[in-house]
Structure 1
Amino acid sequence: MSGRAAPVYNRGKYWLEWDERADGTRRSPYLTIFWYDPDARRIRSSSTSTDVEDEAIIALDRRYLADASEGPAFCPTCGHPTAQAKSYLLTDAIADYNLEWGRTRTSADTIEGRLKHVVDFLEAEDAKGEEARFGLGTTCAIACGTVFATALRAWSRTQPVLFRNGKKEVTGSRPRSPASTEASIAQLIAVLNHAANAEPPRSDKRPIYKPLPAQQVQRKRRTRIGVAELAAMLRYAAEPGKQRGSLHAFLVASICTVARPGAVVDINVAPERLQWWPGAEAIDLNPQGRTQTKKHRAILPVLPLLGEWLQAELDDYLALPIEQRPGRGFLVNYHGRGVQDVDRAWDTMLRNLQFPIGREWRSYVLRHSLATLARNRGATLWDLEGFMGHRASSQTEVYAIGEFPTAKAALQSIISEIETLAPGSLHRNDTGASSPNAERRGVKMSG
C-alpha cells in the first residue's frame, strides 16, 4: 500500500485506494479496501474486484454497513443499537439510502442525480472555509432542520442544470426550475426518513420541513401540438431509407396509449412480461415485476393500429433463437435492443422540421397534446382520467378492466386524420399497408 496520496474514499475505519508497491506499481488491477485490525495489529485488505470507483465505493459501503462495530446504528463499546442523528453524517445517510433503496429502483438515475445536487451543496459550503454554515461534516440532526433546507433552496436557485454527453462533458445548460430544487428536497427528506426507519434506526430525528406543493413550483405547460404537427412528425419518422425506427415506434405507441414517455419505451411483447399477447384486447403498461408508483401505469384497450405493431414485433421476437431473446421484444428499440429514451432522435426531428426547441417541446408534449385533442373530440373526463392513469383504481377496477369508449373513439379519429394527412406513415413498414402478420395466429401466453 502506498500511503503517498489521499484515499479515493473512506468511511469509518475503512479506506479505499489502489494497492501499490513502494515503487508505485500496482499489485492488483482492482481497487482495494483497507482497514486496521487491532487484534492482529496490522493493516488488512480486501479486493473490490473492480477498477471502477463508483462500484468500489459501493463495495466499501456494504462492508461498512455489515460491520456492527462501525455502523452508526450500534454502540462501538457495548454493541447495543443506538440512533443519534447528531453523529450520523448526512453524506453517510445518502450513501446508505442509495445502496439499500435508491439503486434498486427503476428511477435510480433520477434519484442519484437529485441527491448529487445535495452533495454538491455540501461541497460548495465546504469551499467557503470559515464562512461555511454546513459542509461534508453536516449531520442528519442539522439536515433535519428548516435552516438547512432554506440554505439549500437558496443555493439551488443559483445553480444551472447542466447537460453532459457520454464522456461527462458539459454540452449545455438551462436555469434550474423551482420544481427541480423541490425534487432534491423531497429526495433529501426520503433519505432522512430512511435513516430513522432503518432496523435498528440510525437516526433519532426526522425532517421538520416538507417540499413546496407542486402547484406552487411547477410551471404549467402551455404548448400543445395539433394533428398537422403529429402528421409531419410521423411522415418524417417513417421516411424510407432512414434509421428512425425507434422514433417511429415511439410516436405511434404514444398516440395509441397517451402514455408517459417512460412507459412507452417500456412496452415489450416478451411473454414473461405479461403486458400483451396475440388476441389480447388490452395491454398492461406496467410490466410483470414492476411496482406501481404514483405515476400509475394503466391497463388500456389495444387500438387496432397498436395491435398491428405489437404483432409485428412479436413475430420478430419469436423468429429469434431462444438464447437471443433475453433483452429483446421492446416495441421501441434500436437494432432490437430497448432504449432509455428517444431524446436525441426527438431533438434531431425538431430541428429538421424547424419546430421550436425547448422545454415545452420535449417528448412529453405528445401526452399533453393528445389528451387535449381527445378531450376536445368528445372523450369524457372519466374515460380520459382512466386512460391516462390519473384516476386512482378502485377495487372494482381490479376485476373489471375499463374500455374507455369515448377516449378510444377520439384517438381513432385522430389516427384517421393523420392517415389522411400523411398516408402510410402510421404503419410499421414503408408501403403504408397493414402488417401482413396482423391477423396471423400467434402463440398463447402461458400464465
Structure 2
Amino acid sequence: MSRRTPPLYQRGKYWLAADERADGTLRTPNLYIWWYDSETRRERSTSTATRDVAAGILALDRVYLADKNEAPAFCHACGQPLAQAQAYLLTDAIADYKIEWGNTRASADTISGRLAHAVAFLDAEQALGAESRFGHSTSCATACGTVFVNAFRAWSRLQPVEWRNGKGEVTVSRPRSPAATEASIAQLIAVLNHAANAEPARSDKRPIYKPLPARQVQRQRRTRIGVEELAKMFAYAAEPDRQRGSLHAFLVASVCTIARPGAVVDISVAPDREQWWPGSPTIDLNPQGRTQNKKHRAVLPVLPLLDRWLREEYETYMALKIPDRAGRGWLVNYHGRAIQDVDRAWDTMLKNIEMPAGREWRPYLLRHSLATLARNNGAEKWDLEGFMGHRAGSQTEVYAIGEFPTVVRALNHIIASIEKLAPGSMHRNATGVVAAGKLAGDKKM
C-alpha cells in the first residue's frame, strides 16, 4: 500500500486508511485496516466494509482488542497480564469502554455524547500545542487525578450545548449546565473503572474524585401546569383532521402513568414485549429484555382510559398480517412506527396554544406537573413513590404487585377534570372536541 496519505486513525500496530493504487486512485471506496505482519514481512489488510470513518475506527478498535499480543493489558516481552494506567491512554480506554459496554446499552447515544464532550476537551488541549497540559497523549493515570478533572470542569463550563441540522449548521445553542458537565465526569469515572475492572486489568488506578452531588449542580424545576393547561393540550392534540396522533397518545399515556417521556414512547402492545395484554390489570413499563437501571420502571395498574387506548392499538396490531407486525404495536407511533420522542410536535403545540417554550417547558414537564397534581389530590407519598419508580419494589412487592390506590383515585379525578374542560379530547378518535382556545368554562371577552 502507498503510505503517501496519512492514516485516518492508528492504534498500536494497526492503522486505518484507504486502499490506494500507485497513482493515488482508490481501488475501493471502503476503508481498510492495515498492519505489518512480522512473520511474512509484508503489510496486510482487511476491509472494514464501510467508507464511514467513525464505523471504520470502531472496526479497528475491535481488531485491536481481539489481538492479545497487541492489547495494552499484555506485556510484549513475556505475554503476562499487565495493568499500567500510565501506559494506557484515556482515548483508548474510552474506545474500549464503548465497544465492550457503552454501545450495548439502551442509553448508548447518551453515553456516546457525554464521552464525546470529554474527547472534545482533549482535542482542545491538543490544539494548544506547547501550552497543553493534557491532550491525546493523556493516560488513565493522569485522568484519574483531581488536576485533570478540575481542568475539565473549568473548560466545560465555557462550552455551549449546540444542536446542528443535517448540514452541520448550529441551529440552537445554550449555556452548558453544571449538571451536564458532571454527567460527563460520571461517564469518565465509569470508563476509568471499566479499565481497572477488565479481565485482565488494563489499569492499576481508579479516579480519586466523584461527580458533584445532583443537589449541588441541578437547577430545581419550578414550572408546573394545572388541569386547565392540560385540557388545552388535549384539545389541541385531539383536534379532528390533524396529524397529531403521536402527541395525543403521548399525552394520554403520560397522564395515566406519570412516566418519564422515554418510558412513555416505549409502551407497546406487541406480545413479545410482555408489557400488556387484553384484560391485564397492569402494564409493565419495563419491557421484556430491558435491564432495569437507576431510572426504575414500575409495574402499574391500568387506568380505564389507558385500557381503552391499549385495546384499540392491540386491535390495529392484530388486524395486520403476521409478517407486517414486526416493528408495530407502539402506543405512541407515527403511522404505526416507533418514534424516539415527540419534541417537534410538542414545540409546535406550545407555540399554537401560546404557552412558553423555555427549557423548563420540555415534555418532562408533564411528569413533574402530574406528580404535583396527584399529590394535591390526595395521593399518599408511599404510593406516589412506587408509582413513579422512585422507590424500587421490595422482595414482597415482587410477589404482591402494588395497586397504588391513592394515586389511581387522584389520576382518575384529574382525567375527569380534563374531560369536563375539553369534552371528547380523551377519545382516540375524538368526538365533540372543543378547540384548544375555547375550553368549556372559558369566559367570553
Range of TM-score over shorter length: over 0.9
Q: TM-score, normalised by structure 2?
A: 0.96
Q: Which residue number corresponds to residue 237 of structure 1? A: 237
Q: Which residue number corresponds to residue 349 of structure 1? A: 349
Q: Which residue number corresponds to residue 62 of structure 1? A: 62
| Aligned sequence identity (%) | 73
Whole-angstrom CA distance in 2 between matches of 1:421 and 1:305: 16
Deviations 1:83-103 (A, max 9, x none): 000000000000000010000
Q: Give the secondary structure class of the aligned counterpart of 2:250.
A: helix
Q: TM-score, normalised by structure 1?
A: 0.95
Offset, 1:431? 2.3
Whole-angstrom CA distance in 1 between matches of 2:156 and 2:290: 32
Q: Give the secondary structure class of the aligned counterpart of 2:86.
A: helix
Offset, 1:170? 1.6
Q: Which residue number corresponds to residue 110 of structure 1? A: 110
Work out whether residues 378 and 406 of structure 1, in 8 Å CA contact, stay in contact via their aligned partners in 2: yes
1:348 partner letter: T
Q: Which residue number corresponds to residue 202 of structure 1? A: 202
Q: Which residue number corresponds to residue 442 of structure 2? A: none
Q: Which residue number corresponds to residue 443 of structure 1? A: none
CA RMSD of aligned residues (A): 1.1
1:123-162 equivalences under 5 Å are: 123-162=123-162
Change (3 A) 1:140 1:289: same
Whole-angstrom CA distance in 2 between matches of 1:40 and 1:136: 32
* Mapped pair 1:291 → 2:288: no
Offset, 1:9? 1.2
Q: Which residue number corresponds to residue 440 of structure 1? A: none
Greater CA drift, 6-15 or 198-207 = 6-15
1:337 partner letter: R
Deviations 1:144-163 (A, max 9, x none): 00100000001000001011
Whole-angstrom CA distance in 1 between matches of 2:312 and 2:387: 24
* Mapped pair 1:171 → 2:171: yes
Q: Give the secondary structure class of the aligned counterpart of 2:121.
A: helix
* Mapped pair 1:10 → 2:36: no
Whole-angstrom CA distance in 1 between matches of 2:272 and 2:319: 16
Q: Which residue number corresponds to residue 320 of structure 1? A: 320
* Mapped pair 1:218 → 2:218: yes
2:411 partner letter: L
Whole-angstrom CA distance in 1 between matches of 2:327 and 2:77: 50
1:316-395 equivalences under 5 Å are: 316-395=316-395
Offset, 1:432? 5.5
Deviations 1:276-332 (A, max 9, x none): 000000000000000000010000000000001111111111111111111111111
Where structure 1 has 5 or more consecutive residues not aligned to the other structure, the ranges are: 434-447
Q: Which residue number corresponds to residue 306 of structure 1? A: 306
Q: Which residue number corresponds to residue 21 of structure 1? A: 21
Offset, 1:36? 0.7
1:28-107 equivalences under 5 Å are: 28-107=28-107
Whole-angstrom CA distance in 2 between matches of 1:375 and 1:231: 19
Offset, 1:17? 1.3
Q: Give the secondary structure class of the aligned counterpart of 1:87.
A: coil
Q: Which residue number corresponds to residue 399 of structure 2? A: 399
Greater CA drift, 162-171 or 287-296 = 162-171
Whole-angstrom CA distance in 2 between matches of 1:28 and 1:421: 64
Offset, 1:240? 1.2
Q: Give the secondary structure class of the aligned counterpart of 2:431.
A: coil
- Say how many residue pairs are matched: 433
1:118 partner letter: A
1:90 partner letter: L
Whole-angstrom CA distance in 2 between matches of 1:331 and 1:425: 17
Offset, 1:167? 4.1
Q: Give the secondary structure class of the aligned counterpart of 1:240.
A: coil
Whole-angstrom CA distance in 1 between matches of 2:173 and 2:356: 17
Q: Give the secondary structure class of the aligned counterpart of 2:326.
A: coil
Q: Give the secondary structure class of the aligned counterpart of 1:85.
A: coil
Work out whether residues 426 and 432 of structure 1, in 8 Å CA contact, stay in contact via their aligned partners in 2: no
Q: Give the secondary structure class of the aligned counterpart of 1:124.
A: helix
Work out whether residues 317 and 328 of structure 1, in 8 Å CA contact, stay in contact via their aligned partners in 2: yes
Whole-angstrom CA distance in 2 between matches of 1:131 and 1:54: 29
Work out whether residues 255 and 370 of structure 1, in 8 Å CA contact, stay in contact via their aligned partners in 2: yes
2:431 partner letter: T
Change (3 A) 1:107 1:387: same
Deviations 1:129-156 (A, max 9, x none): 1111100100000000010000000100
Whole-angstrom CA distance in 2 between matches of 1:167 and 1:237: 31
Change (3 A) 1:432 1:194: farther
